[in-house]
Amino acid sequence: MPQIELAGEMFDVDEDGFIQDPDRWNEEVAKSLAAGEGISEVTDEHWKVINYLRDYYLKFGIAPMVRRLCKETGCNLKRIYELFPSGPAKGACKLAGLPKPTGCV
């Protein structure tokens, strides 16, 4: 399994750069993942989305549907892509330390 250094520590990641142990996530990890997803600075608006995803995942064990994410954070899909250019799944979920989305993608 590949490893990368994030915020001074080594992390197991898969080929797509999703961290394998969601419990080891912290804000510094999110910040160091940001550049790879085309994000120069993690703003409060980014944190709102990341924290929502994280809370939802910890509560329900899955990522929320996109519509729900938009509704609850008040960011429409266009705004989400402005914040996370690679989108809610590849961008936001990765930064939030959630497992890789699966299915017929």
Count of residues interacting with other proteins (CB under 8 A): 24
In terms of CB distance, is 58 or 62 closer to other proteins? 62
Q: Which of 1, 5, 8, 104 binds other proteins (CB under 8 A)?
A: 104
Q: Which of 20, 48, 66, 79 binds other proteins (CB under 8 A)?
A: 66
55, 66 Cβ separation under 8 angstroms:
no
According to CB under 8 A, which residues from 40 to 59 bind other proteins? none
Residue 61's Cβ-side half-sphere holds a number of Cα atoms within 13 Å equal to 0
Residue 50: CB atoms within 10 Å: 25
- Closest contact distance (angstroms) between CB of 35 and other proteins is 13
Catalytic residue ranges:
104
* Backbone phi, psi, residue 5, to 5°: -95, 125
Q: Which residues pair with 4 in a beta bridge?
A: 11
Residue 74 vs residues 43, 52, 79: alpha-carbon distances, Å? 15, 11, 9
In terms of CB distance, is 8 or 59 closer to other proteins? 59
Q: Please report, as ranges, the residues that interact with other proteins according to CB under 8 A.
A: 15-16, 18, 38, 62, 65-67, 70, 77-78, 81, 85-90, 100-105
